[in-house]
Structure 1
Amino acid sequence: MTSAFTFELRATDGKARTGVITTPRGKIRTPAFMPVGTAATVKAMLPESVAATGADIILGNTYHLMLRPTAERIARLGGLHKFMNWHGPILTDSGGFQVMSLAALRKLTEEGVTFSSHIDGSKHVLTPERSMEIQRLLGSDIVMCFDECPALPAPDEEVARAMRLSMRWAERSKAAFGDRPGHALFGIQQGGVNRELREESAEALKVIGFDGYAIGGLAVGEGQEAMFGVLDYAPQMLPADKPRYLMGVGKPDDIVGAVQRGVDMMDCVLPTRSGRTGQAWTRRGQVNIKNARHADDPRPLDEDCTCPACRNYSRAYLHHVFRAGEMISGMLLTWHNLHYYQELMQGLRDAIAEGRLDAFVSEFHRLRAEGDIEPI
């Protein structure tokens, strides 16, 4: 078993890359999609089911876990991997994004953020040092710097202020992280949709030095066109020999576009959240299982898909259990969505390795443009 965290680039096709991140808890094939396990569970899935979809790594959430059940309790119970029975790598976010979006009555200072819990109103303080401590108690393999992520659109002065504060916090995060062999710390580039601010942020992060680099502050309301505009240059500002992680993305076409632009890792709640609300993602686009057109349809969601929902159940059944409010609905649709996402990632990895990414992307868009199969 290796005790080091390493990244090996194996092939490129244009700006797109495929490789392997090695951690003491296992390998992560890139480009990688990380299912989100906010509260120490990928909702509606057993850990072994998540692994069966092809996921190499999942994401845990510092903000939610520090409030409930608390990082200290998880540490006493043997750490997050043991607690949730996931034996592969785990990445934890820093808590910054949730504090900005969920917490009530928050107060931001140079030191950190004071906020009231959205659960019970209790007061908490999150600083770069406390975020590092929580993530150490959780025992995650990849730790994220504590940062401030303003919602877009925002004035350049506000984006610049938040970015520079995040860079100071990145320095404090690195100092507090210390020397932890086998564990990695990722810096987070900020700067909104402003190229000069992105460049300034990337330079500041490279001076500090990290095991990997995230592109933060996107997928926060700016739209796909603006996001792709930033991704046309932002990944290349970051070191080529380290993993590049685009936070909080996204829809299948967002993922494909990000990979084309040189991104190695992504995460998003979309496939799991969609599964619980009756939305299935397929190679022919989105299927809304709520629609009456599925009530008498004996066909699977996708006849080429090998997930349990497609292998063993009809659209009619999936429509029925969703309408009836049965738990199996969210379970089957979430499994299908995660399976589809991981199949897409495997397709992208193979296409990059074989130098046929353009053809793969063309076929991806062609099938989606066709739309769902005709109703019976």
Structure 2
Amino acid sequence: TFQIWYRVGSRDEPAGKSGISHLLEHMMFKGTPKYSSKAFSKMVKRKGGVDNAFTTKDYTMYYQTLASDRIDISIELEADRMQNLILDPKEVIAERNVVMEERRMRYDDDPQNSLYEEVIAAAFKSHSYHWPVIGWMSDISSIERSDLLSHYRAYYSPDNAVIAVSGDVQADEIIKKIKASFGSIPPASSRTVVTSKETEQKGERRISLKREAELPYIITVYHTPSFPHPDSYALEVLGMILSGGKSSRLYRSIVYEKKLAIGASADYSGFNKDPYLFLFDATAAPGKDIKDVENALYAEIEKIKKELPSEREVQKAKNQIEASFVMGQDSIYFQAEITGMFEMLGSWKLKEQHLENIRKTTPEDVSRVAKKYLHEDNRTLGILIPIKK
């Protein structure tokens, strides 16, 4: 697997241009003077490989997975589109429409995803995590070729990129080839460094969304620090205790025993450049009041604050986290991805520190972080209220 990571995501976008990083990701497949639109992916497929890309709040990644003796194709193609993207005006209009339709289907026509967007926007008032990766519809529709070109020139250069390679390759040989192809590409002349910080939340924020939907739905989020903050490891273990499968606390209590919801989960999003969120969500069972679901969620949070989880429960959660991490190493794609992601967040060397600190987490740590972060004044809540057609 050959992966190239750029230190640019939706957090780096100026107000009014949300979604530009994601749209540029689409345009990166639309050709250079040397390789026409779609030729890039066709070449990879012809050699028996697969390619794709994704954009997050913090970074953008492009990858190809192919036989190790064909990795030269990846190096050549990625070096070419790092510096020679055409950005044909007709292609920009066409792809902008594709992204707008993608947004319509994934968010505007999906009540739960719409609520998620609203909650995140309410939780972040000053930080650029406020807007979604795909962007607001009004912003996407106004992005011009000149905007994309400026964004491309500012962020797509060797000094803002990381290459991660895994598989049957010789490191010295690969590094030599990468230097030969990327070494002459000049650094960006200038780029904006986003330094915005979210101000401390001083009280609960509540929003509601009325949409055509089958069942009421709730999302509640709490501001939390991100990896490698010392509390991030206990927060990850807490998330697994609350939501690591059907034997976890939330599912067992709210879905199985109380039968208030058809689904309930918790998710700690710790792998972000800046502090992010601990998220809970639940879909009410038919005929059940969403207020009862909300109270049941809070009851589980209060329980773990007041009563230490057992050593066995904490160990099980730690084992689940470690097993997921270790089993992922069977995939050469995941090996490169995890290394690249940690490098984006600070240093690839942190991946060893991550598991070490998960192993050290105690029941006292888990209860402590629950008390510290999962409280009312730090909470933003959204409720989906179904309306009939």
Q: TM-score range by the shorter chain?
A: under 0.3
TM-score (norm 1): 0.21
Q: Which one has the largest radius of gyration?
A: 2
| Structure 1 or 2: more helix by fraction | 2
Flag the structure with more relative contact order, 1 or 2, with Cα contacts below 8 A and sequence separation at least 6: 2
